[in-house]
Amino acid sequence: MNAQVDELIHDGSAARVLALTELKFSNSMIEAWWRSLKHQWLFLHSLDSVTTVRRLVAFYVEEHNTVLRHSAFRGQTPDEMYLGKGDTVPADLTARAAAARQARIEANDRRPAGGARHRRGRMITDRPTT
């Protein structure tokens, strides 16, 4: 594997970067992103050429920025945050979550008696408590 990496460095397709020490800032966010890219996407595919890696990385970056919603952005994508187009997303997600919760409560209330069921966070049983 190291011989292949050395070959990529030699032909200019990659560059070796040494870690810096005594930094006054943290790069933990980009490190987390790289970890996600590698473990959730790249390692699931055959990385048989530099062209394949470039294509896979380009796809992941596009999906990450335009499709995947991020909790740090209250449900907005990075593009929505950067371009200021996602202002209604947090309120919309909150409203949809409340509607889904209400639908679950109503569906549970319609279930026939005879077993344990949950309602508004409490266990309800048909058996008397002792």
Tell me: pLDDT of 57 over 60. Answer: yes
Residue 61 maps to a domain: yes
Q: Report which of residues 47 and 26 the model is more confident about.
A: 47
Q: Read off the pLDDT of residues 31-53 as tens digits, 9 standing for 90 and up.
A: 888 999 999 999 999 999 999 99
CA of 21: how far to CAs of 18, 24, 26, 27, in Å?
10, 9, 11, 12
In a domain, 87, yes or no: yes
Which domain range does residue 102 map to? 41-110
**Domains of the chain: total:** 1
Under the banding of pLDDT at 50, 70 and 90, the label for residue 70 is confident
| Within a domain: 53 | yes
Q: Identify the pLDDT of residue 129.
A: 56
The rounded mean pLDDT for the chain is 83
In a domain, 67, yes or no: yes
Gap between the terminal Cα atoms of the chain: 68
DSSP bridge partners of 81 = none
Using a 10 angstrom Cβ sphere, with 0-12 exposed, 13-18 middle and 19 or more buried, the burial of residue 117 is middle
Residue 24 lies in a domain: no
pTM above 0.85, yes or no: no
